[in-house]
Amino acid sequence: MAFPKRVRLVEVGPRDGLQNEPNPIDTATKLELIDRLGAAGIGYIEAASFVSPKWVPQMADHREVMTGLTRRQGVTYAALTPNLKGLEAALECGVEEVAVFGAASEAFSQKNINCSVAESLERFAPVLERAREAKVRVRGYVSCVLGCPYEGEIAPAKVAEVSKALFDMGCYEVSLGDTIGVGTPLAAKRMIEAVSRDIPMEKLAAHFHDTYGQALANLYAVLEEGISVVDSSVAGLGGCPYAKGASGNVASEDVVYLLNGLGIDTGIDLDKLAETGTWITQTIGRPNRSKVGVALAAK
| 276 makes contact with ligand HMG (CB under 6 A) | no
CB of 255 to ligand HMG, least distance (A): 15
CB 273 → ligand HMG: shortest distance, Å? 20
Among residues 6, 85, 132, 197, the one that binds ligand HMG under rule CB under 6 A: 85
CB of 141 to ligand HMG, least distance (A): 4
Shorter beta-carbon distance to ligand HMG: residue 143 or 247: 143
Residue 232 interacting with ligand HMG (CB under 6 A): no
- The C-alpha atoms of residue 165 and residue 261 are separated, in whole angstroms, by 36
Main-chain phi, psi angles of 225, to 5 degrees: -80, -15
CB of 295 to ligand HMG, least distance (A): 26
Among 79, 240, 259, 270, binds ligand HMG (CB under 6 A): 240
Report the residue from 242, 252, 278, 290 that binds ligand HMG according to the rule CB under 6 A: 242
Q: Are 11 and 37 in contact (CB under 8 A)?
A: yes
The CA distance from 102 to 98, in Å, is 14
83 lies in the binding site for ligand HMG (CB under 6 A): yes
Question: Which amino acid type is present at position 126?
Answer: P
Binding positions for ligand HMG, 114-173, rule CB under 6 A: 114, 141, 143
Asked if residue 86 binds ligand HMG (CB under 6 A), the reply is yes
User: Is residue 191 a contact point for ligand HMG (CB under 6 A)?
Assistant: no
By CB under 6 A, is residue 79 in contact with ligand HMG?
no
**Residue 56 binds to ligand HMG (criterion: CB under 6 A):** yes
Please give the residue whose beta carbon sits closest to ligand HMG in the complex.
177
44 binds ligand HMG (CB under 6 A): no
> Total number of residues binding ligand HMG (CB under 6 A)?
24
Q: Give yes or no for residue 218 binding ligand HMG (CB under 6 A).
A: no
Q: What does the alpha-carbon distance between residue 239 and residue 210 come to, in Å, rounded to a whole number?
A: 10
99-to-28, 112, 195, 226 alpha-carbon distances in Å: 24, 15, 19, 23
Task: Answer yes or no whether residue 92 interacts with ligand HMG by CB under 6 A.
Answer: no
Q: Does 254 bind ligand HMG (CB under 6 A)?
A: no
Closest to ligand HMG by CB, 142 vs 294, is 142
Catalytic residue at 148?
no
Q: Which of 14, 102, 177, 183 forms a contact with ligand HMG (CB under 6 A)?
A: 177
Q: Looking at the annotation, which residues are catalytic?
A: 240
Residues that bind ligand HMG (CB under 6 A): 16, 19, 49-52, 55-56, 82-83, 85-86, 101, 112-114, 141, 143, 177, 179, 207, 240-242
